[in-house]
């Protein structure tokens, strides 16, 4: 249980927020932003398994998010299916497609794989535009808050549900990456030839990596549409896929909490901090320019990710204390 303490602590930090909002200490818009940070963090954690642990890249994340979102909205709103049943279907279909891409990845890799997944995402986006009966086309698709058996959730409890999902998926991811499967993924990332020589099946673990990435993306999409309660085709574009990629790189690859930090930097800071500043907040879009500059600075000067910042500060502080003790008194 001690192993998971940090994950529960992160989840608790998010769970406290709506209670602070009820107490009037933070605004309701801040709750929406923090919910956004959480479901993009979930997607980032899944992509981190693919990119950080297995060394494979995908630019189709936004497409799988959108697919999960639209399927869930259609099943719950148009067909009237229960949320839990629609959740299973909404993540199952993207998962199958992700496994197919995993099979294709055996023949292509690197930039070619990135382009192929980008092509898949663009196909999804065009489908979202054309299938009006399914997605609402350019008008978008509405969805409601989740209904869990006999419990109809509101925004408060939907936010709590997202936090619980985040905690659960962090624990699941921890058990995967610190198991034999995680070691196999890291070996495959270092050298596929060495992995095969050790008896590691590239097919099995590429399918595992793509399966996790698409599964988490679809879950993030479902949570998105039932928390924001609206989705439109232009939102699931390559820009969003690149933002989620930035979430992983900024937070720290091969970490679980790193994507949460990265999601807060990419999706949280512009809304919660930069837009509240006197000059930056008054000029439309300027906050996101500053976010882009911040991303560049982090990548240039802290390429390992912000997750290691606290450790490095502590190390530097300890070195200074040692140096102070080493200086003789006069």
Range name among 39-53, 70-84, 268-282 with the lowest pLDDT average: 268-282
Residues 6+ apart with CB under 8 A from 90: 68, 69, 71, 72, 75, 218, 221, 222
Cβ neighbours of residue 208 under 8 Å, at least 6 residues apart? 181, 185
Report how far residue 330's alpha carbon sits from residue 273's, in angstroms, rounded to the nearest whole number.
48
pLDDT digits (tens, 9 = 90+) for 96-140: 999 988 888 778 777 888 888 888 888 998 999 888 888 888 888
Q: How far apart are CA 83 and CA 85, in angstroms?
A: 6
pLDDT band, very low/low/confident/very high, at 323 (cuts 50, 70, 90): low
DSSP state of 117: H
Measured at the CA of 143, the angle between CA 137 and CA 149, to 5 degrees, comes to: 145
Question: Which among 47, 95, 36, 32 has a CA at the least distance from the CA of 67?
Answer: 95
pLDDT at 193: 84
Q: CA 265, CA 139: separation in Å to the nearest integer?
A: 30
Q: Which residues contact 268 (CB under 8 A, 6 or more apart)?
A: 33, 34, 36, 37
d(CA 187, CA 224): 34
Q: At what angle do helices 111-130 and 83-104 cross, to 10 degrees?
A: 140
pLDDT of residue 75 exceeding 70, the answer is: yes
**Per-residue confidence (pLDDT) for residue 225, from 0 to 100:** 96
Residue 4 belongs to what H/E stretch? none
- For the segment 64-71, the average pLDDT, to the nearest whole number, is 96
Mean pLDDT (whole number) for 283-308: 76
pLDDT band at 326 (very low <50, low <70, confident <90, very high): low
Tens of pLDDT, residues 19-35: 999 888 888 999 999 99
Of 259, 67, 91, nearest to 177 (Cα)? 259
**Average pLDDT in the chain:** 88
Task: Please provide the DSSP assignment of 232-248 as one string.
Answer: -GGGSSHHHHHHHHHHH
**Domain spans, the chain:** 2-260
Residue 178 has pLDDT above 90, yes or no: yes
pLDDT of residue 108: 79
Binned at pLDDT 50, 70 and 90, residue 264 comes out as: very high
Do the beta carbons of residue 19 and residue 179 sit within 8 Å?
no
* Rg value, the chain, Cα: 21
Which of the listed ranges 87-96, 102-111, 301-310, 320-329 does the model predict with the highest average pLDDT? 87-96
Rounded to whole angstroms, how far apart are CA atoms 23 and 89? 38
In this model, does residue 324 exceed pLDDT 70? no
Contacts of 115 (CB under 8 A, 6+ apart): 59
Evaluate if residue 321 carries a pLDDT over 70.
no
Q: Among 81-85, 221-225, 285-289, whose mean pLDDT is lowest?
A: 285-289
Query: Percent of the chain, pLDDT > 90?
Result: 51
* CATH, domain range 2-260: 1.10.3470
pLDDT of residue 322: 57
> What's the average model confidence in pLDDT over 66-90?
95
pLDDT at residue number 137:
86
Q: How far is CA 35 from CA 40, 135, 164, 212, in A?
A: 9, 23, 12, 21
């Amino acid at each position: 249980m001690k192993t998971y303490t940090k994950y529960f602590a992160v989840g608790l930090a998010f769970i406290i927020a709506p209670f602070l909002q009820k107490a009037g200490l933070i605004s309701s818009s801040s709750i929406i932003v923090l919910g956004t940070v959480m479901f993009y963090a979930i997607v980032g954690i899944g992509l981190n398994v693919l990119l950080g642990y297995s060394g494979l890249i995908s630019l189709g994340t936004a497409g799988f998010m959108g697919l999960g979102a639209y399927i869930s909205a259609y099943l719950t709103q148009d067909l009237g299916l229960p949320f839990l049943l629609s959740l299973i279907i909404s993540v199952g279909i993207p998962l199958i497609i992700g496994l197919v891409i995993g099979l294709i990845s055996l023949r292509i890799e690197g930039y070619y794989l990135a382009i192929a997944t980008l092509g898949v995402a663009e196909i999804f986006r065009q489908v979202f535009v054309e299938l009006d009966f399914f997605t609402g086309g350019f008008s978008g698709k509405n969805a409601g808050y989740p209904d869990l058996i006999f419990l109809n959730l509101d925004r408060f409890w939907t936010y709590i549900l997202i936090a619980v999902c985040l905690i659960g998926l962090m624990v699941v991811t921890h058990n995967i990456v610190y198991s034999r499967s995680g070691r196999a993924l890291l070996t495959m990332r270092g050298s596929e030839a060495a992995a095969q020589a050790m008896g590691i099946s590239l097919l099995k673990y590429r399918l595992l990596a793509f399966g996790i990435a698409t599964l988490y993306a679809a879950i993030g999409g479902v949570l998105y549409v039932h928390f924001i309660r609206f989705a439109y085709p232009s939102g699931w574009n390559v820009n969003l896929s690149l933002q989620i990629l930035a979430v992983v790189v900024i937070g720290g690859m091969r970490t679980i909490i790193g994507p949460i930090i990265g999601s807060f930097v990419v999706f949280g800071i512009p809304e919660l901090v930069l837009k509240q500043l006197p000059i930056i907040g008054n000029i439309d879009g300027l906050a996101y320019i500053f976010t882009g500059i911040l991303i560049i600075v982090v990548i240039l000067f802290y390429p390992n990710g912000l997750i290691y910042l606290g450790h490095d500060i502590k190390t530097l502080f300890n070195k200074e204390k040692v140096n102070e003790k080493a200086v003789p008194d006069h």
